[in-house]
Amino acid sequence: MTAVNRETGPGHVDERQARAVAEAARESEWRRPSFGRELYLGRLRLDLVHPHPRPDPDSAAAGEEFLTRLRAFCATVDAQRIEREERIPDEVVRGLKELGALGMKIPRAYGGLGLSQLDYNRALTLVGSVSPALGALLSAHQSIGVPQPLKMFGTEEQKRAFLPRCATTDISAFLLTEPDVGSDPARLRCTATPTEDGSAYLIDGVKLWTTNGVVADLLVVMARVPPGEGHPGGITAFVVEGGSEGITVEHRNRFMGLRGLENGVTRFHRVRVPVENRIGEEGKGLRIALSTLNTGRLSLPAICVGAGRWCTKAAREWARERVQWGRPVGTHEEVAKKIAFISATTYAMTAMLDLASHFADDERRDIRIEAAIAKLWCSEMAWRVADELVQVRGGRGFETADSLAARGERGVSAEQILRDLRINRIFEGSTEIMHLMIAREAVDAHLAVAGDIIDPSAGAAAKARAAAKASGFYAAWLPTLVVGQGRRPGAFGEFGPLAGHLRYVERAARRLARSTFYGMSRWQGRMETKQGFLARVVDIGAELFAMSATVVRAHHDREEHPERGQGAYELADAFCRQSRLRVDALFTALWANTDDLDGRLSRRVLDGRYPWLEEGILDPSVPGPLIAPAEPGPSVRENVRRTMG
């Protein structure tokens, strides 16, 4: 069989084509206010987050009632059994179904619980603290599976047909990724060919990393419709019955963590899908997927918050119990720093998640930046939190819970939480992809007025129009970045001892906007290649958002929960001081870094310039191609699909 060059062969998509597909799919207008967008423009719009939003009392009561029942059920789950057997027991799934946990986000009109995003995330925090695999099952089903895109884009007939099933009995999955297609959907190879009579589509292709795909009853499948008469074509979304003829789950994947995850490889061969099962119009599938992820991504920070709270408890108990050199290890400065980081960061993750959840419930905010930042920042920080817990526990942090219990100690699963959390930096957009995506939104205002100036394909007339438009925008915008409330000593006084942190955020936001402008002026059309610079811009904005959310949350806690007010202020103050050090370092690294050197060295490594660096070893990898072939056609493998519950 002739090998296909992935850079020049069939299906090759160049950078410009890939960007065009991504641009066509993103929401190009800002119809509602966004706190995150304003931060990147140098404006601390505190009025968008303060006073801290409050949930609707009736909604909160319903959520609390469900969480009470869910807590009682989760207390009966044997988390270590899931780890040992590498699957969630059927009786656990049946119990979740009976509780209504499959329909937490589905409206009551369609048989669901109709919980708010806030309470849904609280439920995932609770479930994920018991077993992240349980959290992944529920979130993949509701956050990105069939319920969410149908709620947003489905017809009334589709909602009536599928949502009651999803709320009570059927598990769903989301299928986008392919063996050779990750975050670059322009290269999607799975096809959905219209039948001659126009009544259906025939889906052919292979999907990889299909979370819940091994056990799913319903699938959301992204496939490319070939353009033709009466068919505009393009990437399109479909609801597909998991047991349809022609679907084969060829493999259940195993991972370093999330041992109970039902994730696999699914092959489609001439799978007939009625036209009534198409979600939205042809060619709108990628936009549907991205819109779904705007709120769907909030499930991951919910899992991270649960992990952070558990890590705080485990670290506190161990650091108080374990004695070294005559006193508890938690009183030694090196360990105390880790305890402070774990607890303060957990409080900040909670503040960020709850604020973004309130925004999602309110529906008067554009949360695409806030949700993306919450996913990016919480997944990175939770991983660090878990890593610090392992270090605090020392050898016991590296030992499995089963081994600890077998020799008579409490089975604290520190190493497991580290393994389980690692995927969150990759799930639903890797950290690197999230940096690029948020950066695109952060510079959107600049591209809107000056895009043609830096676009090499733009003609002279377009560049002239853009220059005139940009001069007006920058003449009004740049002066606002010179001074602000952050320079006024008494600003934000109602926040008491935390006011100084908000003044810092205000000053840093203006500095960030100026830095972004300088970067665009310096690199112009090459700005998109400066991924290191853009990543730091995004990370600074994420820290500023985290600080803002944390200060507002601490103020809210003092007002609403006086018994925890002092503690909230202490946690918020510690977090902001830690965060400010990270922000200062990031600002320095904007201009003092090794990005160019690293790029040159990487290219030399890829060119094989240092073969001697790999000598003196043996590679124990199992032989095979680095990317498995995924040509369409009938399956020749056993179908390992199964049902749960």
Q: What distance in Å separates the CA atoms of residue 633 and residue 293, rounded to the nearest whole number? A: 30
Secondary structure of residue 311 in the 3-state scheme: helix
The answer to whether 424 and 385 have CB atoms below 8 angstroms apart is no
Element (H, E) at 558: helix 531-560
For 93, left (φ over 0), alpha (ψ -120 to 50), or beta? alpha
Strand ranges in 297-361 using DSSP code E only, listed in sequence order: 323-324, 327-328
- Listed residue (149, 153, 200) closest to 174, CA to CA: 149
271 strand-pairing partners: 203
AA letter at 77: V
210 strand-pairing partners: 264
**Half-sphere exposure in the Cβ direction for 216 (13 Å, CA):** 38
Annotated active-site residue 157? The verdict is: no
Q: What distance in Å separates the CA atoms of residue 113 and residue 263, rounded to the nearest whole number? A: 26
Tokens linked to 614: 């790999």
Give CA separation, 155 vs 180, 233, 503, in Å. 32, 20, 48
Q: How many CB atoms lie within 10 A of CB 608?
A: 8
Q: What distance in Å separates the CA atoms of residue 391 and residue 412, rounded to the nearest whole number? A: 13
**b/e burial code for range 611-642 (CB count within 10 A of at least 16 → b):** eeeeeeeeeeeeeeeeeeebeeeebeeeeebe
Q: What distance in Å separates the CA atoms of residue 19 and residue 15, rounded to the nearest whole number? A: 6
Tokens linked to 246: 């022609």
Beta carbons within 8 Å of 564's beta carbon, 6+ residues apart: 557
228 strand-pairing partners: 231
The answer to whether 183 and 217 have CB atoms below 8 angstroms apart is no
Beta carbons within 8 Å of 31's beta carbon, 6+ residues apart: 366
Beta carbons within 8 Å of 521's beta carbon, 6+ residues apart: none
Backbone angles phi, psi at 147, to 5 degrees: -55, -45
Catalytic residue among 83, 370, 399, 428: 428
Secondary structure of residue 456 in the 3-state scheme: coil
Q: What distance in Å separates the CA atoms of residue 267 and residue 631, rounded to the nearest whole number? A: 10
**Half-sphere exposure in the Cβ direction for 199 (13 Å, CA):** 2
Q: What distance in Å separates the CA atoms of residue 381 and residue 388, rounded to the nearest whole number? A: 11
Q: Cα 245 to the chain's mean position, in Å?
A: 33
Helices (H) and strands (E) in the chain, counts: 23, 10
Q: What distance in Å separates the CA atoms of residue 297 and residue 162, rounded to the nearest whole number? A: 22
Dihedral over Cα of 205, 208, 214, 219: its sign: negative
- Rounded to whole angstroms, the maximal C-alpha distance in the chain is 82
Active site residues: 428
